[in-house]
Structure 1
Amino acid sequence: MAYFIRKDENEFTATGAASGAWNTEEQHIAPMMGLMTHLTELDHVRRDTEGVMLPGRINVEILGTLSFDAFHIETEVVRPGRTIELVEAVCIQNGRPTVRMRTWFMASADTASIAGTAFASIPGPTEQALPALGTDWGGGYVQSITGFRQQSEPGRGIAWWRTDTPLIEGETVSNLAYFMSLLDMANGVVVREDPRKVAYPNLDLTAHFFQLPDGPWLGTETHVSFGASGIGETHSVIHDASGPIGTCSQILTIRRRG
């Protein structure tokens, strides 16, 4: 079972595999981010047929919850250009925008001779993967993930995860779309507080890639911070099997449960 089924060029429905961790009656936002990345890339390729620009930053604003009703996604070029381009994708469900994604595409260049990063590497993925990374999170989406985590203290640790579930039934997607369909899990792979007692959903996700990912394993070194006034942040360094490739930040709204 895939996360989504395409109904026409821009209309889709989600399957039970996309059900959420905070509420199984809603979609998990992670697969939606992958789908919107895929459609953004398809839209961009129609203009950049030679592939001279690469996506470097993806910002997602979560405007509301996603039910399992049909939805469609609209794309628009906000800032056209030959060396940089900003593309916006908006998911519309039941007549209202629910998710907005903006992607910066930038001109590619040969900088291999000076490539490098100050981010430290983390231990690579192993074959000892567990369903749902061995977490207690529910929902079809989390259950479709396998991986493992090492938590050194509350809100700090590393994790690797992957999925064999297709993003869209019958379609092949890029490594970037695949990674983006996993990345929102960064807020949950290591926990600062028991999510049965404290809810901390993220309102956004911003990912910066200085190197495009190569699958199938996504790794993060993650730090979760809670402030004293109900606001938190999850910040992660993103890794693939080659090493660090970018960063991801998510703003959190913190709510005690019960």
Structure 2
Amino acid sequence: MATQHVAPALGLLVHAVERDRDARRSDGLRIGRTSFDILGTMPIAEVDLEVRVLRPGRTIELVEATLAHGGRPVVVLRAWLLEPRATAGIAGTGLAPLPDPEAMEPWDPTTVWPGGFIASIELRRAAVAPGRGAFWARTPLALVDDEPVSPVARAAGLWDVSNGMVVRSDPTAVAFPNVDLTAHLVREPVLEDGWVGFDTTQTFGEDGLGLTSSVLHDAAGPLGTSAQVLTVRPTAATSVG
């Protein structure tokens, strides 16, 4: 069966959580954390979505959403939803903002990665070194046709690309797929012109584990962080040592 990039599926799961929330309550709990476990490859086929509340509450909820194909779970999301409060007077961060997208050079990700989803992304990148750099990404494609989609869900549909845009090693010599993605947010994204920003570091350990960590950005500045654990797999022809 043909497979596709998992990134849009992550956005779809966030959208399902928000749609379920809005059907159950009207107080607008904010998504503070999304933790995705990627259990298999993402098929190009019809999928089933199921949402359930694991920990109900008046001001805090833990919600689980599962995307499955043919009865097999493909991605599971657990999201913490938190009550919004008026904290603008004490808001602040020590995280540095990214330069605007216009300050970075356009970069074609299909020079490294194949696939229609990757080809749909517009990238502007400032690579500092192998495994280190910053970039902005956006796509003109709608996450869901003919249905309003929140900025959180739209941004979540791009988060997974962070593992492939400032690579530490040639992907033809070393495979490094991520098996999860966890993002923490401190506010709703502001997607001016659709851009989502990443200040990303990729680390390979000495025994087959790796980590891609990013500070997430939007038009208003830093908005959270993400992390992906990697299984680092050199090809048989790759010399390691």
Residue 43 of structure 1 is aligned with which of 20, 23, 33?
Answer: 20
Q: Does the alignment pair 1:253 with 2:235?
A: no
1:222 offset after TM fit, Å?
0.3
Query: Which residue of the partner structure matches residue 217 of structure 2?
Result: 239
| Alignment correspondent of 1:28 | 5
Residues of 2 paired with 1:129 and 1:46: CA distance? 43
RMSD of aligned Cα (Å): 1.6
8 Å Cα contact 2:104-2:126 kept in structure 1? no
Cα distance, 1:212 vs structure 2:
1.2
Aligned-pair CA distance for 1:169:
2.2
Residue equivalent to 2:95: 119
Aligned partners of 1:131 and 1:144 also within 8 Å: no
Distance 1:134 1:114, change over 3 A: farther
Which residue does the alignment assign to 1:21?
none
Please state how far the C-alpha of 1:69 moved relative to its aligned partner.
2.6
* 2:50 alignment counterpart: 74
Hey, what does 2:239 align to over in structure 1? Answer: none
Are 1:227 and 2:205 an aligned pair? yes
User: For 2:2 and 2:101, how far apart are their aligned partners in 1?
Assistant: 32
What is the letter of the counterpart of residue 228 of structure 2? Q
Equivalent positions of 1:59-208 (< 5 A) are 59-126=35-102, 130=106, 132-133=108-109, 135-208=111-184
Q: 1:108 to 1:178 in 2, by over 3 A?
A: same
Structure 2 residue aligned with 1:16: none
Rounded to whole Å, the distance in 2 between the matches of 1:42 and 1:251 is 28
What does residue 54 of structure 1 align with?
30
The TM-score normalised by the length of structure 2 is 0.93
Which runs of no fewer than 5 residues in structure 1 stay unpaired?
1-23
Distance 1:30 1:168, change over 3 A: same
Superimposed CA distance per residue, residues 124-146 of structure 1 (whole angstroms, 9 cap, x where no aligned partner)? 11187746447421101100100
User: Counterparts of 1:115 and 1:128 in 2: how far apart (Å)?
Assistant: 28
Unaligned runs of 5+ in 2: 237-241
Counterpart amino acid of residue 27 in structure 1: Q
Give CA deviations for 1:96-115 in whole Å, capped at 9, x if unaligned. 11110011001110000000
SS of equivalent residue, structure 1 residue 87 = strand
Partner Cα separation in structure 1 for residue 111 and residue 87 of structure 2: 40
- The structural deviation recorded for 1:220 is 0.7
Partners of 2:103 and 2:119 lie apart in 1 by 18
Q: Give me the TM-score of the superposition, normalised by structure 1.
A: 0.87
| 3-state SS in 2 of match to 1:76 | strand
**Corresponding letter in the other structure for 1:229:** D
Alpha-carbon distance change, 157 to 127 in structure 1, aligned in 2, over 3 angstroms: closer
Aligned to 1:205, what secondary structure does the other structure show? strand
Are 1:131 and 1:145, in contact at CA under 8 Å, matched by a contact in 2? no
Maintained 8 Å contact 1:35/1:181? yes
SS in 2 for 1:185: helix
Deviation, structure 1 residue 156 = 0.5
1:134 and 1:42 map into 2 onto residues whose CA distance is: 33
Q: Could you tell me how far 1:33 is from its partner in structure 2?
A: 0.3
Structure 2 residue identity aligned to 1:195? P
What is the distance in 2 between the residues matched to 1:235 and 1:198?
Answer: 18
Change in 2 beyond 3 A, CA 1:141/1:134: closer
- After superposition, the C-alpha distances for 1:7-49 in whole angstroms (9 at most, x for unaligned) are xxxxxxxxxxxxxxxxx93121100001111011000112221
Asked if the contact 2:98/2:199 (under 8 Å) is kept, the reply is yes
Cα deviation, residue 238, structure 1: 0.3
Where 1:119 maps in the other structure, the secondary structure is coil
Do 1:218 and 1:240's aligned partners in 2 also have CA atoms closer than 8 Å?
Answer: yes
What amino acid is the match of 2:17?
Answer: T
